Amino acid sequence: MVDTAIRRTVGLPAAAWLEVVPSATRFILRGAAGARAAAGEGFGISFPETACRAATDGDRSALWLGPDEQLLLAPDGQVERIEASLAHALQGHAYSLVDVSHRQVGLSVHGPHAEPLLESQCPLPLNLRDFPVGMCTRTVFGKAEIVLWRPAEQLFRLEVWRSFSLYVVQLLHEVAREL
């Protein structure tokens, strides 16, 4: 079991357009179509079947990271309950479920300048036509690997490895000064 001390909220500089998302329960689930369908029932969400899309129901989300890989997000403190629910739902299926709650930090970049801010250091076009609401993918910001998700028109959520979070936040602030 992961020591809860390493899940503490990260003290990163915020701004009107940038917030650290509250601590969350995060899992990487890998499995074939049958396992994903069963896991969706156990998690309480129909997992997205379209590449690079997210599904949200209430306070839980599932992000499609690959044909057999989902990033599951839920409020903090639900690790044991979700593990038990998924283990029950996935009986008889081949799957891998890894708690990555301690590994990542969530960042919210929002407002009318969110798109150009992120595009400055991300190789993807982030306009609504190419990166619509609900889209998610693994990419890079500067030199850091991130998961990028667009839950709303002027809102992006970044999932960043904890060890790269200060670098990403400082780079965002530097770009913001230039914009």
Query: Would residue 116 count as lying in a domain?
Result: yes
What residue has token string 């690790």? 79
Query: Would residue 8 count as lying in a domain?
Result: no
Query: Would residue 4 count as lying in a domain?
Result: no
- The pLDDT tens digits along the chain (179 residues) read 444 445 455 567 778 999 999 999 999 999 999 999 999 999 999 999 899 999 999 999 999 999 999 999 999 999 999 999 999 999 999 999 999 999 999 999 999 999 999 999 999 999 999 999 999 999 999 999 999 999 999 999 999 999 999 999 999 999 999 88
Query: Would residue 93 count as lying in a domain?
Result: yes
Residue pair 151/133 in contact (Cβ under 8 Å)? The answer is: yes
Query: Would residue 5 count as lying in a domain?
Result: no
Query: Would residue 9 count as lying in a domain?
Result: no
Backbone angles phi, psi at 130, to 5 degrees: -90, -25
Query: Would residue 61 count as lying in a domain?
Result: yes
Global confidence as pTM: 0.91
Total domains present in the chain: 1
Q: Is 168 helix (H, G, I), strand (E, B) or coil?
A: helix
The 8 Å CB, 24+ separation contacts for 113-118 are: 113/17, 113/176, 113/179, 114/17, 114/154, 114/155, 114/156, 115/154, 115/156, 116/179, 117/17, 117/172, 117/175, 117/176, 117/179, 118/148, 118/156
Query: Would residue 23 count as lying in a domain?
Result: yes
**Residue 49 lies in domain:** 14-178
CATH number, residue 20: 3.30.1360.120
Q: Residue 15's pLDDT is what?
A: 86
Helix (H) or strand (E) holding 89: helix 79-89
Rounded Cα distance between 148 and 151, Å, is: 10
